[in-house]
Structure 1
Amino acid sequence: MIDPSARRARGRPRERVLDVDRITDAALAVLKKDGLRGLTMRGVAARLGVTPSALYHHVPSRDALLAAVQERFAAGLDTSGFGTLPLREALSRWAWSYLLLLRAQPELVPVIVEVPLAQTPHTSLMYQRVIAGFAAAGWPEESIIGSMSVLETYIFGAALDSPSPDDVYAPGSSAREPLLARTYAAFSASVEDRGERPRDALFRLGVEAILTGLHQVWGSGRGWPGAPR
C-alpha cells in the first residue's frame, strides 16, 4: 500500500518558487561578495541553483535586475517627513535613513549611481516626494535637483567612509603634534558630551552644514527655522 503522506507530497517543489524577490535577494548577496562588476545573471543563477534561462522568465536582463535592487533599497528610505515636517527636518530624517541603509550595504552605492531613474518607478516616486518638499518650501525650481544631489553625494561619501576607525584622527605620542593633540581631545570631549559616535557626529555636522549652506544660496526661509538669512 502507498503511504498517503507520500502521495500528498508527490509533485511538491522542494524549494520556494522562483520570483523577483528571491532573485533580488540572490543579487544582493552576489553584490556583497563580488561587487557590481561581479554581478552577472549567470552568477545569480548559480547562487539560486538554477539555469540562467530560469531567471529571464522573471527578470529580462541584468539592467532590470539592478533596477530591482535599486527599488528594494529605495523602499527602505524614510520620506515620511516630507509634507508633515519642516523641510530641514524632513531632509535630515531622509539623509539619516539613507546613511544607515548604505552603512549596512555600501556595495549598493555604485548601483544607485548607475541605474537610470527612468527604469525605477518606485525610486522615482521617492525622489518626487523629496522634490515636492523643496518646492513646497518655496525653493526655486532650478535649485532643487542640484541641492538634492549635493546632499545625496555627501551621503554616499559618508557611507563609504563608515568603515574607518573612530580614532582615525588620533595623534601619535610625538610631542611635535601639540595642536593636533589638543584639537583631537576637544573633538573627542564634544562627541562624548553628546553621547555620539565620532562618525555620527561628523555626519550630523556635515548634513547641518550642507543644509545651512544650501539655504543661504537658494532657500526662501520658509520651513527652515533658525537658519541664517
Structure 2
Amino acid sequence: MTKSPRRAGRPSTQVLTEERILKAAFALSAQRTARQFTMTALAESLGVRTSALYHHFANRDAVIRAMRGQVSRALVSPVLHEMPVEDALLTWAHSYRDAAIAAPEAMVMLATSPIDADEGSFADYEQIARLLVADSWPTDTIVDAIVALESFIIGSALDALAPADNMAPGALAAQFPTFAEAEAARARLSTDPARRTFEIGVRALIHGLTAWARESTT
C-alpha cells in the first residue's frame, strides 16, 4: 500500500505564537472588563486550550506585561540633547496618546496593573528620567511628573473616543447660555476639539511641571 503524498500548503490550524496571543489579548480587552480578562477567556478567543497559553506566558500578569511592553515600544522615547526638554516631552506625549487611542480599553487595564518586570516601560521611563536629570530636574520631581503626564494623556485618549459634540448642552442651551456659547466657540475653532484640548492641556502641563521642577532647585 502506497502512502498518499503529503499535502502542500498551510496547516489547517494557525500556529500559536506570542504575537498572535497578544493580538487576541488586545482584542479581548475591548470586549471584557479587567476582571473578565482571564487566561481561560483568552484561550477561548483563540480557540485553544488554556494550557497552550502557558507555553508562551507564565500567567495573566505576564500577558499584561507583554501588552504594556508592546505599547511602550510604540512610543517615541525622548533622546538626550536631541531637542529642548519641553519639545521632547511633547513628542513623547503625542506618541503615547496615539498608542492609547489605538487600544483604549487595554490602556485602562494596563494603567491599573503592576508594572514590575516590564522592561519596555522601564526603558521608556529611564530615557525620560535621564532627560530630566540632564536638565537639572531634582530626582524627587521626576516620578511625579511622569505620573501627572501619563494621567492626563490616558484621560485625553479616552476623551478622544467621545463624540465631538459631547460637551454641547443641546436642548439645555437656553438654561446655560454662557457655557453654551463657550462650547459653540470651541466647536467653531476645530473639527477635532479633543485633539485641540489635548494640545493646549499637555503644553500647559509640561510648561508648568518644568517651572515647578526648576523652582524646586532654588
Q: Secondary structure of the residue that 1:9 maps to in structure 2? A: coil
Letter in 2 for 1:207: V
Large movers: runs of 4+ above 6 Å: none
Could you list the runs of 5+ residues in structure 1 that have no partner in the other structure? 221-229
Q: Quote the offset at 1:207 in angstroms.
A: 0.4
Letter in 2 for 1:187: R
Structure 2 contact 39–60 (Cα < 8 Å) conserved: yes
Q: Quote the offset at 1:54 in angstroms.
A: 1.1
Within 5 Å, give how 1:195-206 maps onto structure 2: 197-206=192-201
Within 5 Å, give how 1:46-61 maps onto structure 2: 46-61=44-59
Equivalent-residue separation in structure 2 for 1:114 and 1:181 (angstroms) = 35
Identity of matched residues, %? 33
CA 1:82–1:33: 2 relative to 1, 3 Å: farther
Q: Does 1:213 align with 2:211?
A: no
Within 5 Å, give how 1:139-178 maps onto structure 2: 139-172=137-170, 174-178=173-177
Equivalent-residue separation in structure 2 for 1:101 and 1:37 (angstroms) = 23
User: What is the RMSD of the two structures over their aligned residues, measured on CA atoms?
Assistant: 2.4
Q: Quote the offset at 1:119 in angstroms.
A: 1.7
Q: Secondary structure of the residue that 1:34 maps to in structure 2? A: coil
Could you list the runs of 5+ residues in structure 2 that have no partner in the other structure? none
Q: Secondary structure of the residue that 1:85 maps to in structure 2? A: coil
Aligned residue number for residue 98 of structure 2: 100
1:162-200, Cα deviation, whole Å (9 max, x unpaired): 2222223334465454423443343334x24xxx61111
Q: Return the TM-score normalized by structure 2.
A: 0.87
Letter in 1 for 2:49: T
Structure 1 contact 32–107 (Cα < 8 Å) conserved: yes
Equivalent-residue separation in structure 1 for 2:196 and 2:137 (angstroms) = 28
Aligned residue number for residue 188 of structure 1: 187
Q: Number of residue pairs matched?
A: 214
CA 1:207–1:9: 2 relative to 1, 3 Å: same
Letter in 2 for 1:145: V
Equivalent-residue separation in structure 1 for 2:88 and 2:112 (angstroms) = 26
Q: Quote the offset at 1:7 in angstroms.
A: 2.2
Equivalent-residue separation in structure 1 for 2:182 and 2:9 (angstroms) = 70
Aligned residue number for residue 125 of structure 1: 123
